[in-house]
């Protein structure tokens, strides 16, 4: 038997390539042929980073050439880019001790649980706006280097919000955000809860705050159609999983109706409707039971990016080449 001698540098090179091998999970469920317009056949769900308690609220930031996202229980916001991989961007990210939380208060281990940032969005000027779960406020990042915050809105009629969750800017500068009780340890029964509803709010550029929806049990993800006429709100109530649609009016919204629900989905699929993003075509990418659902403006379900794990939210890069997904303990993406 003749032995083949392999140079040591070749062995090292092969080991290095193996260590860098792309990791994937899940699959793409293709219900209708039109899904191929959005996710090409053969596209895989790539794991970019892992080890998070509950990843949330991704947003692409051109100035960083990176995606930033929340790890809610850890009270941190992370940054991921192609060059350097994962790094901490904000710590703390959503609880700084300014709002009542727990008996002891302060930034101790007990109060860090489920208290970090959640939804993240950029305004028209590229300013990062944050749903600060633990501080029960919506704030903006004033200084990207010093990481200083300013409260945009912290109370409604003198009462603390429950825990602002997700948010979106309209083209006219109006800010819409949802306020479920997920940041309160006992939810609706938490003694710190000051509002007797879980609302959807609108804040105008002049600072006028209005409650526009107050009859949803768990308002969560929020998005606006490209023509600025429709507000979508995901309802993450496991007993009534659905996406609502509303006609946007100057003084609020009207004509609330169910846009999509889980009637035709597999009942065993894990996850609730949560984050929503609108593709330039108008098609809705919604996290929900099974992963990320791709739904036309007419409510036609084209298919699902099945992520295996519960997926909280998603975001496009600025060129709409990738969809980044916060998938429970992972940050993932898929090529579009």
Could you please report the per-residue DSSP string of 13-68? HHHHHHHTPPPEE-EEEESSGGGGGTS-TT--EEEEEE--SSEEEEEEETTTTEEE
Tell me, what's the pLDDT at 108?
46
Residue 81 reports pLDDT greater than 70: yes
Residue 11 reports pLDDT greater than 90: no
| Overall CATH class of domain 24-335 | mainly beta
pLDDT tens-digit map of 167-187? 999 999 999 999 999 999 899
Are 314 and 275 in contact, with CB atoms under 8 Å apart? Answer: yes
Asked whether the CA dihedral 125, 335, 304, 314 is positive or negative, the reply is negative
Tell me, what's the pLDDT at 3?
35
pLDDT tens-digit map of 49-70? 999 999 999 999 999 999 999 9
Domain boundaries of the chain, sorted by first residue: 24-335
24-25 and 313-316: which strand pairing?
Answer: unpaired
Q: Please list, residue by residue across 4-28, b when 16 or more beta carbons sit within 10 angstroms of its beta carbon and e when fewer do.
A: eeeeeeeeeeeeeeeeeeeeeebeb
> Residue 331 contacts by C-beta under 8 Å, 6 or more apart in sequence?
47, 48, 49, 50, 52, 55, 58, 67, 69, 78, 80, 86, 324, 325
SS3 111: helix
List own/partner pairs for 318-322 with CB under 8 A and 24 or more apart.
318/60, 318/62, 320/279, 320/280
Which pLDDT band, with edges at 50, 70 and 90, does 144 fall under?
confident
Residue 99 reports pLDDT greater than 90: no
Tell me, what's the pLDDT at 102?
61
> How close are the terminal C-alpha atoms of the chain, in Å?
50
Residue 20 reports pLDDT greater than 80: no
Averaged pLDDT, 195-206:
98
Tell me, what's the pLDDT at 48?
98
* Range in 94-103, 266-275, 294-303 the model is least confident about: 94-103
> Of the candidates 51, 53, 49, 52, which has an alpha carbon nearest to the alpha carbon of residue 67?
49
Residue 100 reports pLDDT greater than 80: no
Tell me, what's the pLDDT at 145?
81
């Amino acid at each position: 038997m003749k032995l083949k001698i392999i140079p040591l540098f070749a062995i090292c090179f092969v080991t290095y390539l193996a260590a860098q091998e792309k990791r994937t999970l899940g699959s793409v469920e293709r219900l209708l042929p039109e899904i191929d317009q959005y996710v090409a056949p053969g596209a895989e769900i790539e794991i970019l980073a892992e080890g998070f308690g509950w990843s949330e609220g991704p947003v692409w930031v051109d100035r960083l050439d990176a995606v930033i996202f929340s790890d809610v229980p850890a009270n941190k916001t992370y940054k991921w880019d192609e060059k350097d991989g994962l790094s901490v961007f904000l710590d703390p990210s959503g609880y700084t001790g300014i709002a009542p939380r727990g008996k002891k208060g302060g930034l101790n281990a007990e109060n860090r649980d489920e208290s970090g940032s959640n939804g993240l969005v950029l305004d028209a000027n590229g300013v990062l706006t944050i749903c600060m779960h633990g501080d029960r406020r919506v704030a903006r990042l004033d200084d990207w280097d010093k990481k200083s915050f300013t409260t945009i809105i912290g109370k409604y009629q003198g009462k603390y919000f429950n825990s602002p969750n997700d948010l979106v800017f309209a083209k006219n500068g109006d800010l819409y955000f949802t306020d479920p009780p997920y940041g309160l340890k006992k939810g609706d029964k938490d003694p710190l809860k000051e509002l007797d509803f879980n609302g959807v709010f609108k804040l105008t550029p002049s600072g006028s705050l209005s409650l526009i929806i107050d009859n949803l049990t768990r308002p969560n993800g929020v998005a606006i159609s490209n023509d600025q006429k429709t507000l979508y709100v995901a309802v993450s109530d496991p007993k009534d999983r659905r996406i609502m649609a509303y006609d946007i009016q100057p003084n609020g919204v009207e004509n609330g109706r169910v846009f999509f629900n889980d009637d035709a989905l597999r009942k065993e699929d894990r996850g609730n409707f949560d984050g929503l993003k609108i593709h330039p075509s108008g098609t809705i990418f919604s996290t929900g039971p099974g992963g990320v659902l791709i739904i036309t403006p007419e409510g036609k379900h084209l298919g699902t990016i099945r992520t295996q794990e519960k997926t909280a939210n998603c975001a496009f890069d600025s060129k709409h080449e990738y969809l980044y997904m916060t998938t429970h303990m992972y940050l993932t993406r898929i090529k579009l």
